[in-house]
Amino acid sequence: MRKILLIINIAINCLLFADPLFLLTDPKTHFSIELYTNKLQLSIFQPFFYSSVPIDLLIDQGDDSSILKGLISVESAFFIHAVSEKGAMGLTQMMPSTAYELGVLNAFNPFQALDGAKLYLNKLQERFGKIDYALSAYYEGPSKVSLYGPSEEGRKYSQKVIEESKKFKDNQVFIRDVFYLQPHISVGKELNDLSAGLNFVNSFLGIVDFQGGFDISAGEFSHYFFAYPRISHSLSLIFGEKNLELVAGISYTKLPNFGVELLLNSNYFDISIKFKLWQVIFSAGWSSEGLHLGVIK
């Protein structure tokens, strides 16, 4: 039993210092029990949705602006970090291959996502001549629509987008994002050996992600803050500090199933990988403190 708890603890620690996308794209409450050699830590990861900026500020107003808002409503409900089980990402739910074809490096960046979706819809409308066919092709692929015409699901999708576009045509709507707070409390071997702290995860419009936090005990105060500027939806750099020591690194994430991260400073290194199998996240890695393995459900 103790070995199982230790593995779960290691997995949670790996996830805490993993790319924030693992939490931002999975907005639900998580609980953890972490067992250390000298303490037990209880945590809750609580997401909070908030409205960011009006979508109209990001869309060039024109005949297709309401259609684009309808598409975003259907695809992601205006949530910046939406990810489907198949790996479609962002406000406009682009698959990685489609994003690559359209020159969208970061599908979580709303500026890039909206420009890419508008370009794609324009191409599809030029190809098929009808907005309902273009929307069906956006949903089920242009090759399929070109060969067989829109399917029943494709027609329902296009009709739903058009209905949503009428709803939002003259109404202002905000894009949505999420941040996490993680309060935690630790109990040492002695009952009076207590510590508590608070961690957070947030993002600035999917362009730069952040995580940080602090821990307070009777004799210590520790803290960290990392920024993850996104080169793409898969790759980000890492800059920050841990107890006033500079930390740098790089992170690669292939959502929703795989991630690898490297962290370095003058006294510390950590390289770890994570992958999801059967709805379970497995992690493994090596650091200056030794090997770590883990699993979390």
Whether the full predicted model's pTM is greater than 0.85, yes or no, is no
Name the token pair of 30: 């998580």
Return phi, psi of residue 153, to 5°.
Answer: -65, -40
Contacts of 165 (CB under 8 A, 6+ apart): 66, 67, 68, 69, 70, 71
Pick the CATH number of 2-50+188-296 from 2.40.160, 3.30.565, 1.10.240, 1.10.3470: 2.40.160
pLDDT score of 264: 87
Tens digit of pLDDT for each residue in 217-255?
A: 877 898 999 999 999 999 999 999 988 889 999 999 887
CA torsion sign, 89 to 169 to 161 to 49?
A: positive
- Is 90 exceeded by the pLDDT of residue 34? no
Q: Mean of the pLDDT values across residues 88-108?
A: 92
Alpha carbon dihedral 225, 192, 43, 18, in 10-degree steps, equals 40
Measured distance CA(180)–CA(24) in Å, rounded? 8
Catalytic residues: 75
- Is 80 exceeded by the pLDDT of residue 256? no
pLDDT score of 138: 93
Q: Which letter, b or e, does each residue of 220-251 get, where b requires 16 or more Cβ atoms within 10 Å of its Cβ? A: eeeebebbbebebbbebebebebeeeebebeb
Give domain limits for the chain.
2-50+188-296, 52-175
Strand order in the sheet with 268-277: 30-35, 39-54, 174-188, 194-204, 208-217, 221-229, 235-242, 245-254, 258-265, 268-277, 280-287, 290-296
The class of domain 52-175 in CATH terms is mainly alpha
Q: Mean of the pLDDT values across residues 290-296?
A: 60
The chain-wide mean pLDDT, for the chain, equals: 83
Give start and end residues of each alpha helix (H) in the chain: 2-16, 21-24, 65-76, 96-102, 110-128, 131-140, 142-148, 152-168
pLDDT score of 16: 44
pLDDT score of 290: 67
- Is 80 exceeded by the pLDDT of residue 274? no
Tracing tokens 């009076």 back to the chain, one arrives at: 192
pLDDT band at 18 (very low <50, low <70, confident <90, very high): low
